């Protein structure tokens, strides 16, 4: 089962695409979810998602502008994507017929 924040973080990683490391993922969440999370929260969630096999991580290209260590980038795995789609599909199914702004096309 994916928690609510886990879903959001998975979506953010997908959105950021390449070089999805902590900072841009965090920024994307703040921007689109209006949620004032800490970086620590994002990293913690990413770690847990990795333990469950929903994302994998790899060393990012060392292209730091000014200070900063190497980045740890994340990508959603197939399993992660399946799980995310399943969660969203459930919500959509349950929203059918209600006017809650999530009706199917």
Partner DNA sequence: ATATATTCTCGACATTGTCTATCAAATGAG
Partner DNA sequence: CTCATTTGATAGACAATGTCGAGAATATAT
Residue keyed to tokens 């847990």: 48
State the binding string over 7-46 for DNA (x if CB under 7 A, else -). Answer: --------------xxx-----------xxxxxxx-xxx-
Termini Cα distance of the chain: 26
Our finding on whether 88 is near DNA (CB under 7 A) is no
Please, are residues 58 and 75 in contact by the beta-carbon 8 Å criterion? yes
Phi, psi of 56 (to 5 degrees): -125, 160
Asked whether position 68 contacts DNA by CB under 7 A, the answer is: yes
Instruction: By CB under 8 A, name the binding residues for a second copy.
Output: 1-4, 7-8, 11-12, 14-15, 32-35, 81, 84-85, 87-95, 97-98, 100-103, 105
């Amino acid at each position: 089962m994916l928690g609510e924040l886990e879903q959001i973080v998975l979506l953010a990683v997908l959105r950021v695409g390449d070089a999805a490391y902590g900072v841009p993922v965090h920024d994307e969440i703040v921007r689109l979810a209006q949620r004032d999370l800490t970086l620590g929260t994002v990293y913690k969630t990413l770690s847990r998602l990795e333990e469950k096999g929903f994302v994998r991580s790899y060393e990012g290209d060392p292209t730091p502008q000014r200070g900063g260590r190497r980045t740890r980038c994340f990508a959603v795995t197939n399993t992660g994507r399946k799980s995310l789609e399943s969660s969203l599909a459930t919500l959509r199914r349950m929203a059918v017929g209600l006017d809650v702004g999530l009706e199917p096309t």
